[in-house]
Amino acid sequence: MLDPSQQPSIVLLALDGLTDAVKKGQQMMREAYKNAPKPAEGEEAPPPPSNAVAVAMKDGGATERLEQLVSSPHEGVPQKVNVLKNLLQFL
């Protein structure tokens, strides 16, 4: 879906869906952190939860594909790519 040779409307739809998925993953991560049991005194705290959606995207090569799309000549694509890259950058 994140292929520069795809129709721009398909790429834009995919970018919107991925952005929404990453945002939902952030919400789930915050909820997991908020609901995580607190460690007993003297116990080491467990690692903080991660955004499973963002991890899956990064592991699946989405970052490289976004780099290919950032210079797309199609209206709206570079902007949506940058929004998604910024979300992934901090996760």
What is the distance between the alpha carbons of residues 18 and 12, in angstroms, rounded to a whole number?
10
pTM of the model: 0.85
pLDDT one-digit tens code per residue, 15-46: 999 999 999 999 999 999 999 888 888 898 88
Residues 6+ apart with CB under 8 A from 57: 18, 22, 63, 88
Contact, 87 vs 54, CB < 8 A? Answer: yes
Residue given tokens 């940058």 in the structure block: 82
**pLDDT: is 82 or 36 the higher one?**
82
